[in-house]
Amino acid sequence: PRIAVLGAGAMGSRIGAHLFEARYAVVLYDSWKDHVAEIQRNGLRIVHEHSARTLRIKAANRPLPGEVYDYVLLLTKSGQTEEALAGFRDIIGPDTHVVSLQNGIAGIEILPRYIPKERILVGVTTYSSDLLGPGAVQIGGSGITYLSRLSGGSSPAVDTLEAIFNAAGFQTVVSEDAMQVIWEKLAFNASINPVTALTRLNAGEAGTHPLGIELMSSIVGEVAAVGHRLGINVRTDEVMNQLRRACEPEACSDHLPSMLQDVLKGRKTEIEALNGAVIRLADDFGMDIPYNRALYQMVKMLDEIKGLS
């Protein structure tokens, strides 16, 4: 199968690199010219613990003429999704499956406006990665990736991608319940991200402090309540267990969650696709979710005053 990564930043480069090393035909597409030029000139540099390797992987900052793909792995930040789909629409053909492993609910909110639901795959991953600069990424934690069809059930396309990811070293499982997978990750991210971004504590510090756990539990409870109104079985105990595990030292608890990294680097965060999306739904239901609203308001101020897009 032919695979494109659309948005080859931290995660897109990591996933693209593993696929490339497993000998899949993969192209990295990204609108960031310096990054693409560096990969074209000197290769993609992958830093892992104390070693580094350079991969001669194909990269482009505009659609390569006549090239369409079986899978387009969408890994821009959520807020960049529409622009990326517009700029790279030529790489998506009538049989292409678009796969979102983005955090938040871009995959279920935005993609169906552009791609037929049957050709949308969504997923979540506990893998992580950091961008070091143009052409260079640092591999972070591993774990598990869940894939699902947005329209539910199984299909050869999702089974094939599961096999490809596993062959490339990503432990991957197909889940029948896309909504539960996405909403539980949403609850996880909507709590750990703004709490660490606002306190400037890393995951381990925030998630092992009794007040940190209490605050995250309040946020998770509110997200789950909105999910339940939509008929989605968001399991708060499961999310809290995942948070506790992510904050243990063995799980790279010194890792800085992406929203904290964004705030520290003065970049715009994904707050709109996380707590912002939950608040919009809560408003529709006339529900009050004060913890989410307060954190949203504080991060949004940072975004608007300091955040670069």
Please report, as residue ranges, which positions from 206 to 265 form the binding site for ligand NAD (by CB under 6 A): 258
Q: Phi and psi for 8 in degrees, rounded to 5?
A: -100, 60
> Is the CB of residue 222 less than 8 Å from the CB of residue 261?
no
Report in angstroms how near the CB of residue 285 gets to ligand NAD at its nearest.
25
Q: Binding pattern to ligand NAD, positions 136-155, x when CB under 6 A? A: ----x---------------
By CB under 6 A, name the one of 28, 72, 120, 125 that touches ligand NAD.
125
Report in angstroms how near the CB of residue 38 gets to ligand NAD at its nearest.
12
> Is the CB of residue 239 less than 8 Å from the CB of residue 220?
yes
Instruction: Output b/e per residue, 94-122; b: 16+ Cβ within 10 A.
Output: eebbbbbbbbbbbbbebbeeebeeebbbb
Region binding ligand NAD by CB under 6 A among candidate stretches 7-15, 43-51, 231-239, 276-284 = 7-15
Residue closer to ligand NAD, measured from CB, 114 or 155: 114
Q: DSSP code of 72?
A: E
> Is the CB of residue 303 less than 8 Å from the CB of residue 268?
yes
By CB under 6 A, name the one of 3, 4, 5, 10 that touches ligand NAD.
10
CA distance linking residue 269 with residue 103, whole number of Å: 11
Please choose, from the candidates 8, 78, 5, 32, the residue with its C-alpha nearest in 3D space to the C-alpha of residue 268.
78
CA distance linking residue 130 with residue 113, whole number of Å: 30
Region binding ligand NAD by CB under 6 A among candidate stretches 122-130, 167-175, 200-208, 220-228 = 122-130
- Residue 7 binding ligand NAD, by CB under 6 A: yes
Please report, as residue ranges, which positions from 13 to 42 form the binding site for ligand NAD (by CB under 6 A): 30-32, 35
Residues at the site binding ligand NAD, with contacts judged by CB under 6 A: 6-12, 30-32, 35, 75-78, 80, 83-84, 87, 102-103, 125, 128-129, 131, 140, 258, 270
